[in-house]
């Protein structure tokens, strides 16, 4: 986490100096939303579009939610497809249809993980509308899910789902640069659903009707052998220490999960969406014997140079049946129009 991000969530008083810029940023965000939304219409969409995003910077749990949503829609007999910005990747030309041999450097870690976990067609392009058009050209999907893109208003959408990090919430509540918000907190009042990742750390009136999701750790998977070890008891030898390597927006949540195991945790943090190289592990002096544990999203970027002591934590998303059924029925109804 950068110095500025830490200040946002610690509510550092000096950030008030940036408040006038935040007010301007907030005003521009509101005007931009109104202008671009007025130009787009859901009538232009051949199939319903569901946007899963957030109003704050950093990771909130969008990717595991999209994975869960795709599985749920498949169970309902629908054929979802996914569009994404491909953050962290730099393709020579867009749009790009992701395949199992795609390079992370080209399509980004999230897009590759989405393909591998959902087996749905995935197209990346900073222009979400162009990504959707290409997706519909190559695949006869009947629902388009946009991974992120809540602020990409040129893409009309039928359903908006905002994911909120229950641990960090909204920091000091200011917009960029004085705080972590991409849009004012009032934006949550206009989305269709708000989902909190984990029990909220404090009461926020905008979240009173939100659903709560939980990431449940299932097992540890070895990057080379594929061996699975249950997440519980002592999956490694007693006396080991876990080197928790992360390149995600909120590593604290990952560390909290690992703390449930009977080991000393050594956090090794890289910036969000960091493109890992073998030299990174040498530079940090990562032990070649002690277990290295990472998220599945980070593991995608480390497979080419993985060592026998590299593991990732596999998780499963849990949501209430009531919320899942309501959301599924609404999307199913839209797809049948």
Class of domain 3-213+318-335: alpha beta
Query: pLDDT category, 108, cuts 50, 70, 90?
Result: confident
- pLDDT averaged over the chain? 91
pTM of the shown model: 0.90
Distance CA 322, CA 286 (A): 45
CA Rg, the chain, in Å?
Answer: 20
Per-residue pLDDT band for 42 (boundaries 50, 70, 90) equals low
**pLDDT computed for residue 58 by the predictor:** 80
Domain ranges for the chain: 3-213+318-335, 215-316
Tens-digit pLDDT profile for residues 149-170: 899 988 999 999 999 999 889 9
pLDDT of residue 330: 96
Which residues, 6 or more positions from 35, have their beta carbon under 8 angstroms from its beta carbon? none
Neighbours of 126 (CB within 10 A): 15
Give percent of the chain above pLDDT 90.
Answer: 67
E strands, 62-190, in order: 80-84, 96-97, 122-124, 143-147, 159-165
Mean pLDDT of 310-336: 93
Q: Which residues contact 302 (CB under 8 A, 6 or more apart)?
A: 223, 276, 294, 310
Query: Can you tell me the mean pLDDT for 233-247?
Result: 93
DSSP character for 174?
A: P
DSSP reduced 3-state for 242: strand
* The domain defined by 215-316 carries CATH number 2.30.30: no
**What is d(CA 206, CA 187) in angstroms, rounded to the nearest whole number?**
9
Tokens of 251: 């590593």
**pLDDT for 41 beyond 70:** no
Whether residue 177 is preceded by a cis peptide bond, meaning omega within 30 degrees of 0, is yes
Contacts of 74 (CB under 8 A, 6+ apart): 80
Do 215-316 and 3-213+318-335 fall under one CATH topology?
yes
Burial class (CB in 10 A: 0-12, 13-18, 19+), 94: middle
Q: Model confidence over 118-133: pLDDT tens digits?
A: 999 999 999 999 999 9
pLDDT of residue 195: 96
Q: What is the pLDDT of residue 161?
A: 97
Confidence of residue 197 (pLDDT cuts 50, 70, 90): very high
Residue 88: pLDDT above 80? Answer: no
Whole-angstrom distance, CA of residue 288 vs CA of residue 133: 46
Give me the percent of the chain exceeding a pLDDT of 70.
Answer: 98
């Amino acid at each position: 986490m950068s110095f500025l991000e830490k200040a946002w969530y610690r509510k550092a008083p000096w950030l008030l100096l940036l408040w006038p810029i935040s007010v301007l940023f907030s005003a521009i965000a509101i005007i931009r939303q109104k202008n671009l939304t007025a130009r787009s219409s859901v009538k232009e969409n051949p199939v319903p579009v569901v946007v899963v995003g957030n109003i704050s910077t950093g990771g909130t749990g969008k990717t595991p939610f999209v994975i869960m949503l795709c599985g749920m829609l498949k169970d309902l007999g629908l054929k979802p497809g996914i569009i994404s910005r491909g953050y962290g990747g730099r393709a020579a030309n867009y749009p790009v249809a992701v395949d199992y041999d795609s390079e992370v450097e080209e399509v980004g870690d999230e897009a590759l993980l989405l393909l591998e976990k959902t087996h749905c067609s995935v197209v990346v392009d900073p222009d979400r509308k162009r990504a959707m058009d290409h997706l519909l050209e190559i695949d006869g999907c009947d629902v388009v899910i946009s991974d992120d893109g809540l602020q990409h208003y040129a893409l009309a959408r039928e359903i908006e789902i905002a994911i909120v990090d229950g641990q960090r919430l909204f920091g000091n509540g200011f917009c960029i640069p004085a705080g972590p918000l991409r849009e004012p907190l009032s934006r949550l009042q206009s989305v269709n659903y708000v989902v909190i990742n984990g029990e909220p750390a404090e009461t926020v009136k905008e979240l009173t009707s939100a659903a709560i999701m939980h990431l449940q750790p299932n097992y540890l998977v070895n990057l080379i052998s594929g061996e699975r070890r249950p997440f519980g008891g002592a999956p490694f030898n007693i006396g080991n220490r876990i080197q928790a390597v992360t390149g995600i927006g909120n590593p604290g949540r990952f560390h909290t999960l690992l703390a449930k195991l009977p080991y000393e945790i050594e956090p090794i943090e890289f910036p969000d969406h960091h493109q890992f190289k073998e030299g990174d592990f040498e530079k940090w002096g990562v032990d070649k014997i002690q277990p290295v544990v990472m998220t599945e999203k980070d593991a995608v970027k480390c497979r080419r140079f993985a060592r026998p002591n590299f593991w990732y934590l596999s998780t499963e998303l849990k949501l209430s049946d009531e919320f899942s059924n309501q959301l599924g029925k609404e999307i199913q109804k839209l797809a049948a129009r």
